[in-house]
Amino acid sequence: MARESLFVPYYTVNVLTGTKSAEIVEDPVEAAEIISQSKNPLYIIGPHACTTSYDDGLLLEYVVKIAEAVNIPTCGTAHVKKKLLELGKKADTYYDIIEIIHFLKFSDWQGVRGWGPHDLVLFTGIRCDLAEAGLSTLRHYAPHLKTFAICRAGHPHSDYNSIVTKKSSEFEQWLKGVIAALS
């Protein structure tokens, strides 16, 4: 069960978020339900997904599996395009993180595939301070969106956050659980 509480994130970039903080989704099945219940999600992939590795592969490989499991449109930022091509994959679009956040603020924007406004945005691999700034922007200027930070560092400005842990093996098991629940 998700729990809403004020927590100290992995990186203490911004811990003063007001009275509302992210819901920590510790159960991978619940995370999969949140993702699959979304009508038009978007997955924003940052450059740290290309450099963060776990026992069974890169974080980017887990992200691709999550996106493919429920046909989530993807947006690659920074140098994600090159790494995706090396994996034989392609994102739906490539924007700078600031640009995609700007577009997401508008409730009438038709999304990266033109299927209508996005209702859930997943973030992975974005530098923590930049992610927090983007999540804060979306929290204040895009009330039509829910945000889900799939990152082992806590992001209090998101609506949902994966487990916050310093152990990469715990986060990897959580990712595998989400992928299994979505499949």
pLDDT, tens digit, 9 for 90 and up, residues 61-112: 999 999 999 999 999 998 899 999 999 999 999 999 999 999 999 999 999 9
Residue 152 pLDDT greater than 80, yes or no: yes
Residue 8 pLDDT greater than 70, yes or no: no
Q: Give the pairing of strands 3-4 and 160-161.
A: unpaired
Sorted by where each starts, the structural domains of the chain and their CATH numbers stand as: 21-182 (3.40.50.1220)
* Mean pLDDT, rounded, of the chain: 89
Contact 123, 131 (CB under 8 A): yes
Confidence of residue 15 (pLDDT cuts 50, 70, 90): low
CA separation for the pair 31, 49 (Å, rounded): 19
The pLDDT value recorded for residue 5 is 53
E strands along 46-89, which residues?
53-54, 57-58, 74-76
CA separation for the pair 103, 101 (Å, rounded): 5
The pLDDT value recorded for residue 78 is 82
Cα–chain center distance at 135: 10
Q: Give the pairing of strands 3-4 and 57-58.
A: unpaired
Contact 67, 100 (CB under 8 A): no
The pLDDT value recorded for residue 166 is 86
